[in-house]
Amino acid sequence: MGTQANINAVLAFNRQLLSYQQTAEWGNHGLQGSFSCLRVPLDVSNVDWRADILETCLCEFCLCTHHVGFNQIRTVYLEQWAIDGEDP
């Protein structure tokens, strides 16, 4: 009986990991879709400039998501956040 409990725990953990991976992929695809014109490799020798560019893209993406009101991650996980008592 202990073995079945271990298997169930591993399966639950794997489902949670898959959920986190899927969330990261949605966010990544959203960024790539919004900034598909930025196909030029960033200069690796200029860390500050590269960080500024990435931060600007992320902020603009978040602003667009907030303004439009569509956020797939929030839509999918809002119910679970409410159950867990987390503030999205």
Detail the DSSP E strand segments found in the chain: none
Neighbour tally for 57: CB within 10 Å = 14
Residue 80 and residue 87: Cα distance in Å, rounded?
A: 11
Give the per-residue pLDDT at 17. Answer: 80
- What is the residue extent of each domain of the chain? 2-84
Tell me: pLDDT of 14 over 80. Answer: yes
Tell me: pLDDT of 12 over 60. Answer: yes
Give the per-residue pLDDT at 48. Answer: 92
Distances 16 to 19, 21, 67 between C-alpha atoms, Å: 5, 9, 29
The string of pLDDT tens digits covering residues 19-54 is 777 777 776 777 777 777 667 777 889 899 888 888
What does the pLDDT average to over 5-28? 80
